[in-house]
Structure 1
C-alpha cells in the first residue's frame, strides 16, 4: 500500500480542472470528485471556479503555497489565515467547522481542533488527523477515541498503479488517538502492533508497514542503519580491491618487462654469435695467408732476368707495388690482423730487393 500522506496529497492538492475561462458559463451540478483519484473537478479552468450565478470567476483563495495551473510570476490568490480554510472550490476562505459539521473528503483541516489539540495532534506525518480533528465519512469529529472504546472508520478505495498494472488500494482511517487504530470488524480502538506481528492492513502496525507476508515490517520512513562490521567489510573490500589492482598491474608489467628483456638477450646472443663467426673467418683467412710459400710472401722473387715477361719483371726500388686482390679484400675490413699480415710481404720484398 502507498503511504497515507501521498494518497492525501493526490486527493486534495491536485485539481482536475475543466476548460471554461473567466466569464464563461458553467454548472455547479458538474462539481464532483473523480472516481479512483477523488480529485475535485468543475467546468472552469485551473485559475477560476464555478460561481453560484453559473459563470467562472477567479479563485479567491488557495490551499497550497504553490498552487497548480498558474504561470510563473502570475498573481495568485492568498492563503487563508489561522482559523479559516479554503474549500476544494477555492472560492473564498471560510471559518473552521465545529464537530458534527459536514466536511469534504480527507479535509481534516476544515474541522475545528479540540481543546487538547496538542495531545491529540498527529506528529508522525502520516495524515492521521490535523490538530486532533479528523473528517470521516464527510463529518467533522475529534480523534479522541481511546483503547477498546467505540470508534468510527472510513475505508476509501483508490486506484493505484504498480509494476503489475492497475490495482485498488484501500485506505482505512479512524478517530482513535495516536498509537491506536480502529478495527473495521469490531469498530473498537486497538493497540498498534509491533514488528513481526500478524497484520492485515498498514494501520494495524506501529511502523505503518504491513508486508505482503502478513506481518508488520520496519518503518519505511526511517533511515537504514547497518552494523559496524558492514563498514569494516566494505573498507576491507575497497582497500583489497585497490591493492589487488596495483599488484595485478605490477605482475602484468613485470611479465611484459621479462618478455622485452628476453627479446633483447636473444638479439644480443645472435649478434655475439655473428661476431664470433666473423672472428673465426678472420683467423682462418690469416692462417691461410701465413701458410703461403716464402713465409706468406704475396710474390715470389725466384725468377731470371732474361726473357721475362712484363708480369715477371722484378719489383724495382721506388716502384709502385702491384696491388693484390686479396690485399684489397682484407684491407676493406679495417682489421688489425690485416695490417699485420700485409706488412709482412712488403718487408720480404724489400729484403729480396737488397739482394739484387
Structure 2
C-alpha cells in the first residue's frame, strides 16, 4: 500500500461519470459501456446528460447521484435524486430499489445495497469502508457484520495514482465485510483486530487510523489536525501583537516627522510674508518722505 501522504487519483471514482460525445437521439451501443482502467469511471458513448437505452439511442438521464451534476447548464432541467430506499445506477437511467444481500452490484457502489437492521452500529462512513453497514465486494452485496476470527470476503482493487513528481504508481485499495474495528486479512480471509498507533502494519486497512506509513508502522490519521506545543502559540501571539504595536509606533514617528516638516514649511512661509510686508511698508514710507 502507498502512504496517504501522496496524491491519489482513485478519488476520481467518486467524480461525475466520464461521458462520450453522442447527444440526445444519437446512436450508441450499450456494449461500449465500461469502467475505464485506472480510475474505474463509468464511460458510455452518450454525453454527460444522456444514457444509452435498450434501443441503442442516447436518452436523457432519468436520475442523478449528485446534487450538482456535471454537464448541465443553468437553464437545464435536472433529473431527480433517488429516495432513500432507491439508488441511481452508474448508467443513471432510472431509480431502482435497493438490492438485498447476495444481489449483484456495480463496482464500489455500496449505496446500491440494502442496509442491515442494525446499520447504525455497523456504519463506517469516515473511511468509506461501507455505506450504512452494507458493502459491495466483488460485484456482490454484503453486510459488514462479520466478527473477529470469522471468515470474511475481501476485494482488492488496483487504482492508478501519481506522485508529487508526476510518476505513475499502482495503489491497491483493499476492503472487506468485517465490522468496524476489524479488517479482513487477505491471506487467511478472517477478520482481525485493527492495530493501534506505532504497531507494525502492511496495509492501511490494518490500522485504526487507516494510515500505514512508509516505515510499516501505523501513523496518525491523514485527516488528523496538527497540534503544536503551547510555546508556538505564545510566540505567534507575541508576534501578532508586537507587529500591531510596532506598526502603530512606527506610524506615530513617521507622522510626527511629517507634521514637523509641514510646520517648518508654514513657519518659513509666514516669515517670508512678514519680511515681504515689512519691506513694502519701508518702501512706502521712503516714497512719502
TM-score, normalised with respect to structure 1: 0.64
Structure 2, unpaired ranges of 5+: 255-289
- Is this contact kept in 1: 2:111–2:131, CA < 8 A? yes
Q: What CA distance in whole angstroms lies between the structure 1 residues aligned with 2:205 and 2:211? A: 8
Which of 106, 115, 124 aligns to 1:122? It is: 124
In the TM superposition, structure 1's runs of 4+ consecutive aligned residues that sit over 3 Å from their partners are 6-9, 233-247
| Alignment-derived partner of residue 204 in structure 1 | 206
Let me know the Cα RMSD of the aligned residues.
Answer: 2.3
| Alignment-derived partner of residue 104 in structure 1 | 106
| Alignment-derived partner of residue 82 in structure 1 | 84
| Alignment-derived partner of residue 10 in structure 1 | 12
1:124-163 matched pairs, under 5 angstroms: 125-163=126-164
| Alignment-derived partner of residue 46 in structure 2 | 44
Q: What CA distance in whole angstroms lies between the structure 2 residues aligned with 1:110 and 1:18? A: 24
Q: What CA distance in whole angstroms lies between the structure 1 residues aligned with 2:83 and 2:248? A: 66
| Alignment-derived partner of residue 55 in structure 2 | 53
Shift of residue 230 of structure 1?
2.3
Paired residues, number: 246
Larger radius of gyration: 1
Shift of residue 226 of structure 1?
2.0
Q: What CA distance in whole angstroms lies between the structure 1 residues aligned with 2:248 and 2:26? A: 75
Per-residue deviation, residues 25-54 of structure 1 (Å, max 9, x unmatched): 111010000000000011111100000111
| Alignment-derived partner of residue 21 in structure 1 | 23
| Alignment-derived partner of residue 222 in structure 2 | 220
Tell me: higher relative CO, structure 1 or 2? Use CA pairs within 8 A at least 6 residues apart.
2
Per-residue deviation, residues 83-139 of structure 1 (Å, max 9, x unmatched): 10000000001000010000000000000111111111114x211111110000000
Q: What CA distance in whole angstroms lies between the structure 2 residues aligned with 1:166 and 1:8? A: 12
Q: What CA distance in whole angstroms lies between the structure 2 residues aligned with 1:93 and 1:19? A: 24
Q: What CA distance in whole angstroms lies between the structure 2 residues aligned with 1:224 and 1:112? A: 38
Per-residue deviation, residues 53-81 of structure 1 (Å, max 9, x unmatched): 11110000001111111112311100011
Shift of residue 231 of structure 1?
1.8
Structure 1, unpaired ranges of 5+: 254-356
SS at match of 1:171: strand
Which of 192, 195, 208 aligns to 1:193? It is: 195
Shift of residue 228 of structure 1?
1.8
- Is this contact kept in 1: 2:149–2:190, CA < 8 A? yes
Q: Which moved more, 1:129-138 or 1:234-243?
A: 234-243
Q: What CA distance in whole angstroms lies between the structure 2 residues aligned with 1:199 and 1:76? A: 46
- Is this contact kept in 2: 1:12–1:88, CA < 8 A? no
Change (3 A) 1:230 1:78: same
Q: What CA distance in whole angstroms lies between the structure 2 residues aligned with 1:237 and 1:121? A: 45
Per-residue deviation, residues 278-316 of structure 1 (Å, max 9, x unmatched): xxxxxxxxxxxxxxxxxxxxxxxxxxxxxxxxxxxxxxx
Change (3 A) 1:137 1:7: farther
- Is this contact kept in 1: 2:10–2:39, CA < 8 A? no
Change (3 A) 1:228 1:95: same
| Alignment-derived partner of residue 35 in structure 1 | 37
SS at match of 1:15: coil
